[in-house]
Amino acid sequence: MPAYNFLGLVNDVNRRLNEVELTSTTFSGAIGYYAQVKDAVNSAIHDISHTDFEWPFYHVRVEDTLTAGQVRYAFPSDAKTVDMDSFHIKRDNSLNIDTRKLKLISYEEYLNKHLDDEYNTTNTGIRNIPSLVFRTPDLEYGVVDPPDKAYTVVYEYYKLPVELENHDDVPVFPENFRNVIRGGAMYYAYKFRGDAENAELARQKFDRDVKEMRSIYINRYDYVRSTVLVRTPTASRV
């Protein structure tokens, strides 16, 4: 089987449609039908990506070094959704600090109770180890209290999908879902060719396959332990 990369996925479609396969040399300059198949593969990947915000394949754990006195910090440019409950200060023996969770507050609460800390740059006495975190409306987060040292904040987010571009680019999804990407690409390829009947069949199968992916990676439930107290029957009195 061809390598699991952009070229391999495009050639999966080419073989299905009995077209000449591309090579690593001809891939970048592909035009016409072949350019459409490249678009079809990316469209299939985007369709899968957009069925849920939190595919585990897009999960990222990031560390930010805080600056003394600075309250606000930008999220990464590729952040799609941020887990605000994951924010914590990382243990740092050199700063004599243990790992500690940051409590989430609303932006409104920050504006009402802590806003002056952001402008009070002359009073270093208000600086401390941050204990609170908030999300701003403009893709930033902030910490309270303003840090007094270069603490490390750790948090988690799910990144935006990125289009495949080079022939050896590898999709974020595991190779065992190669057939799902191929199926979605076939839907778009049939549409490009005006084959409505096969396009609809391909779309139906693609939707079923994506649903199965979601059942494996998204629709999971934590184990819930029963808290019901079971009483042992007491012996009857004689």
Hey, what long-range contacts does 219-224 have (CB within 8 A, 24 or more apart)?
A: none
Structural domain ending residue among the three candidates 159, 174, 193: 159
pLDDT at 219: 65
User: Is 98 in the same domain as 183?
Assistant: no
Asked if residue 231 is part of any domain, the answer here is no
> Which residue stretches of the chain have pLDDT < 70?
219-238
Asked if residue 227 is part of any domain, the answer here is no
pLDDT at 232: 44
User: Is 72 in the same domain as 127?
Assistant: yes
User: Is 45 in the same domain as 15?
Assistant: yes
Tell me the two tokens of residue 189. Answer: 């390829």
Asked if residue 174 is part of any domain, the answer here is yes
User: Is 37 in the same domain as 104?
Assistant: no
Element of type H or E holding 37: helix 33-49
Give tens-digit pLDDT for 163-193: 999 999 999 999 999 999 999 999 999 999 9
Q: What is the pTM assigned to this prediction?
A: 0.80
Sequence-ordered list of residues with C-beta below 8 angstroms from that of 161, at least 6 positions apart, any chain = 45, 46, 49, 50, 58, 172
Task: Please give the residue range of the domain that contains residue 142.
Answer: 56-159
Residue 139 Rama label (left phi>0; alpha psi -120 to 50; beta):
left
Structural domain ending residue among the three candidates 134, 159, 184: 159
Asked if residue 235 is part of any domain, the answer here is no
pLDDT at 236: 42
Per the structure, how many domains does the chain have? 2
pLDDT at 54: 86
